[in-house]
Amino acid sequence: MKFMKRRGLRMFAVAAFLPGIAIGALAQSNKTASPQGAVAVSAKDAAITTQLTQKVRDFLANVPKGDKKVFDDFFADDVIYTRAVGVTVDKAAILANIDVRATTEPQATFDAEDFTVHAYGDTAVVNFRLVMHKVNTEQVYFRNTGTFLKRNGKWQVVAWQATQAPPPPPDAGTKP
């Protein structure tokens, strides 16, 4: 009985101090807790999210032009890219296929929506829905996940995975 009282008191002390420890850890990590208990991103991570979301949108807007400089700037020299059909290619293959894509889908345009970005200092993982608009008004959807690395002050993709996906449900809405 005496043991149970001491054990119960220890459990109460741990339960009482645990929220304080968590708040201290959040303060040290420069992040804040939201009302639901989720961790909100820091100002630096929010800036990275904005920067990389815009970088992806700018890249996709320029893809139809077939400018190798755009692809060269977006993808790092050591990129590993897994296409939607499961084939893995390097940067040389990406650059070599720009003209092939321009021939097979000359008028296609691309949009991105439903972004999620996780920043880890000079590395970030970006996931989004890519929408390919074909000439005949058909839309093809992909889920893309890219790992960006900031080297010499410049964000570039070092890993990319594209997966063909079904259209989003009509009531899904889109995240910017």
Measured between alpha carbons, how far is residue 129 from residues 24, 39, 141, 146, 165 in Å? 36, 24, 7, 12, 8
pLDDT digits (tens, 9 = 90+) for 41-77: 799 999 999 999 999 999 999 998 889 999 999 999 9
Q: Which of residues 12 and 155 earns the better pLDDT score?
A: 155
**∠ CA(146), CA(148), CA(150), 5° rounding?**
175
DSSP state, residue 83? -
CA atoms within 13 A on the CB side of 62: 14
Q: Is the pLDDT of residue 14 over 90?
A: no
Least confident residue range of 33-37, 61-65, 73-77, 95-99 = 33-37
| CA dihedral of 18, 21, 25, 30, whole degrees rounded to 10 | 100
Give the architecture-level CATH label for domain 42-165.
Roll (3.10)
- pLDDT given at position 18: 36
Q: For residue 118, which of 110, 109, 126 has the smallest C-alpha distance?
A: 126
Average pLDDT over residues 122-149: 94
Give me the residue spans of the domains in the chain.
Answer: 2-33, 42-165
- Tell me the C-alpha distance between 59 and 75, whole Å: 10
pTM score: 0.73
What pLDDT band is residue 154 in, cutting at 50, 70 and 90?
A: very high
- Tell me the C-alpha distance between 52 and 151, whole Å: 14
Average pLDDT over residues 142-148: 98
Q: Is the pLDDT of residue 24 over 70?
A: no
Average pLDDT over residues 122-145: 93
- The tokens describing 80, both together, are 């590993």
